[in-house]
Structure 1
């Protein structure tokens, strides 16, 4: 899924809970790239993504309503649809779809550039935060790394990355960045953060299913053909990837700065690359390793360096 955008947090969350949430997005999300790749072996990508988020969202929504959260109103549901469309459908669903043609390790490295897009989104929004010079250099380095991955070729001159798959990943990154910034800045809040997460997962999951049906995923899909590996991967993604990690991510956006939350991008690609190599026997050419390292250095630069105060309205940046 981050930037040097920090707002004052009125009531600090318990440190142990914050640390647990960070560990969840660090470790679990790194493994979900492998989980998605295994799940879509026999389940269409958007239907798989939609199913996991609908189930996880309904469970979380039901629990929070049972605990006493008020029923959300129409405006809150509309807000959940917007965030769910950006994060769940375009962001996560796009990654699932792209992994049909893009190796797990490469997909993880491209997704690692999400903090670059969040930095830009936070900068370009009205009264946005102006990055320092070193942060701008980090942005440039990061996008060079992404370009190296997208344009890389093997020894025979063939592209290592499917252009359409890479394009979908980049669009998904942009949407994830916009969704992250919007979810933090919007004044329309659900009765509680966790109820809001459930609403977003339900809305985004339904949209995932609709996109899958429009793309024709339902025509050739037969539940009886789902393999055991895909089924268990789906269960893991639903209850661990969605309920635990996604919930932790959205909650952290409400209690921590986007710059700190974005540090998950340091760890996720490393775990994904290792798992892709060990489990799927994916190769990682030196050129891709160099590009991935460039992206990670860029992410560290843009999330650890300060930003300048936003310019007054009407001034040029």
Structure 2
């Protein structure tokens, strides 16, 4: 799927293309958090994410060049470096670090608060939330506070700090890319972001003294390849299609579907344990996200 031929017209009908894109953003993105944990068997967090985004960025940039799209300008590369450092270096790097000690399902439930953080960050640019959005932020933050009191995060202060940093840096990078640091148009911009963010992550890996296992275990290598092809390329392009052709609420629906899918996969496949209190906390977080998305104009 590509973004170059998309029409700006939004269609509320759920045609085959929209359904396929929804399946990609719901199921693929919902599964990537558990897959990250499998990849950690052989690939340390910063190395795993850095090599993943370098590979995906190189493939995407090669595709854009084959289609005749121009290279990003020097300024756009600088923007990609800043945004990639925040969103991928801090956001995805912190997520992988947190997954070393915290269950993947709880991690993605915490990440569900990111749309609320972005809405709050937009205040710096004069974008005030409506009443429904404000209510969603309040409810969601209560759910996150509940989540931090559960057994998963209580057992790992390191994991809690890592995922908090990840959410904050991802939110700041998202807002800056919208208002201050625009990337190159279309897929070229996201390819440059992945290349820059991947390089930063490999730098963090080197400074941290990470040592990947070689040869990697087959399950870890398969997980890494899944993250490159499905998580970074297919699902991302599906999301871009939804942004162009589907109602905004439908395009954002992954924010409250992914936590449920990730937690179910974590319990059923990953053998993770989620307490009743943590399930309740997740329910409160998701209610906040639903209110937030419903209140957006």
TM-score normalised by the chain length of structure 1: 0.83
Q: 1:127 to 1:80 in 2, by over 3 A?
A: same
CA contact (8 A) 1:150 1:161 kept: no
* Per-residue CA distance 1:101-141 (angstroms, 9 max, x = gap): 0111111211121111122122x122213321x33222122
* In structure 1, C-alpha distance between the alignment counterparts of 2:93 and 2:133, rounded to whole Å: 29
**CA displacement, residues 37-94 of structure 1 (integer Å, 9 cap, x when unaligned):** 0000121111000111100100110110111001221001111112212221111111
1:235 to partner: Cα distance: 0.6
- 8 Å CA contact 1:150–1:163 kept in 2: the answer is no
Say how many residue pairs are matched.
289
Indicate which of 213, 219, 242 corresponds to 1:229. Answer: 219
Task: Report the counterpart of residue 163 of structure 2 in structure 1.
Answer: 169
How far apart in 2 are the matches of 1:58 and 1:16? Answer: 29
Partner of 1:66: 66
- 1:88-107 matches, cutoff 5 A: 88-107=88-107
Change (3 A) 1:118 1:263: farther
Structure-1 separation of matches of 2:34 and 2:170: 20
Partner Cα separation in structure 2 for residue 166 and residue 93 of structure 1: 14
For residue 186 of structure 2, the aligned residue among 185, 193, 218 is 193
**Rounded Cα–Cα distance in structure 2 between residues aligned with 1:256 and 1:19:** 10
Aligned to 1:129: 128
Greater alpha carbon shift after TM alignment, 201-210 vs 139-148: 139-148
1:195-250 CA deviation, whole Å, 9 max, x = no partner?
11111111111111111111111xx33422x1111010001001110112234446
Q: How far apart, CA to CA, are the structure 2 residues paired with 1:179 and 1:25?
A: 21
Cα distance in 2 for residues equivalent to 1:87 and 1:256: 25
Taking structure 1 as reference, are residues 258 and 88 closer, same or farther at Cα in structure 2, changes over 3 Å only? farther
**Structure-1 residue corresponding to 2:9:** 12
- Structure 1 unpaired stretches of 5+: 1-8, 308-317
Aligned to 1:213: 206
Q: How does 1:17-32 map to 2 (within 5 A)?
A: 20-32=20-32
1:117-156 superposed matches below 5 A:
117-122=117-122, 124-132=123-131, 134-153=132-151
Q: State the Cα RMSD in Å.
A: 2.5
2:289 aligned partner: 299
Mapped partners of 1:254, 1:129: distance in 2: 24
Cα distance change on mapping 1:265 and 1:185 into 2, 3 Å: same
What is the rounded CA distance, in whole Å, between the counterparts of 2:242 and 2:77 in structure 1?
21
**Shift in alpha-carbon separation, 1:203–1:188, aligned structure 2, 3 A:** same
Aligned residue in 2 for 1:109: 109
Structure 1 residue 12: Cα displacement? 2.9
| Whole-angstrom distance in 1 between the partners of 2:28 and 2:162 | 23
Gapped regions of structure 2 (runs ≥ 5):
1-5
Instruction: Judging by fraction of residues, say which structure has more helix.
Output: 2
| Structure 1 residue 259, shift from structure 2 partner | 5.8
Secondary structure of 2:118 counterpart = helix
Judged with a 3 Å threshold, the aligned counterparts in structure 2 of structure 1 residues 89 and 248 are, in CA distance, closer, same or farther, namely farther
Q: TM-score, normalization: structure 2? A: 0.88
Specify whether residues 184 and 257 from structure 1 end up closer, same or farther in structure 2 by C-alpha distance, changes over 3 A only. farther
Shift in Å at residue 283 of structure 1?
1.4
Q: Following the alignment from structure 1 to structure 2, what is the Cα–Cα distance between the partners of residues 179 and 254?
A: 21
Return the match for 2:270 from 255, 261, 280. Answer: 280
8 Å Cα contact 2:43/2:212 also seen in 1: yes
Partner of 1:180: 174
Q: Is the 8 A contact 2:83 2:181 kept in 1?
A: no
